[in-house]
């Protein structure tokens, strides 16, 4: 029983990691010339990723209370910070970290 619950949470968090990659594609698209071939290709890819995310979200959300699933979505902020460091060589400031912590604590408090 416990392993089934862990499996559900792993699936949920894997989906959140997938969702964060959509933002990476959007960032890459924003660096292209508007309406260029590369921009349009990334834009279409982003739409496809959003579509598959929406389908997967509908399947996974059936296994959770809505409040619980949405409260866990704050993990996307951490993924976003990670991608910004690894893929875009951006620096993370103390304000970024404090912001993520504040949002995560706020969502945790609201869930309780």
Q: Is pLDDT above 80 for 107?
A: no
| End-to-end Cα spacing for the chain | 23
pTM to 2 decimals? 0.76
Q: Is pLDDT above 80 for 44?
A: yes
**Structure confidence at residue 2 (pLDDT):** 62
**Structure confidence at residue 4 (pLDDT):** 61
Helix 37-61 and helix 2-30: axis angle, to 10°? Answer: 160
Taking CA 47 as the corner, what is the angle to CA 57 and CA 24, rounded to the nearest 5 degrees? 85
In b/e form, how buried is each residue of 91-108, taking b as 16+ CB within 10 angstroms? Answer: eeeeeeeeebeeebeebe
In this prediction, residues 81-89 reach a mean pLDDT of 86
């Amino acid at each position: 029983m416990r392993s089934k619950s862990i499996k559900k949470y792993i699936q949920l968090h894997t989906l959140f990691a997938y969702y964060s990659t959509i933002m990476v594609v959007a960032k890459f698209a924003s660096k292209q010339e508007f309406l260029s071939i590369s921009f349009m290709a990334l834009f279409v890819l982003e739409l496809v990723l959003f579509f598959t995310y929406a389908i997967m979200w509908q399947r996974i959300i059936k296994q959770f209370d809505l409040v619980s699933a949405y409260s866990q979505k704050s993990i996307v902020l951490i993924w976003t910070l990670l991608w910004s460091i690894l893929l875009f060589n951006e620096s993370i400031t103390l304000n970024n970290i404090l912001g993520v912590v504040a949002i995560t604590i706020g969502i945790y408090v609201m869930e309780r």
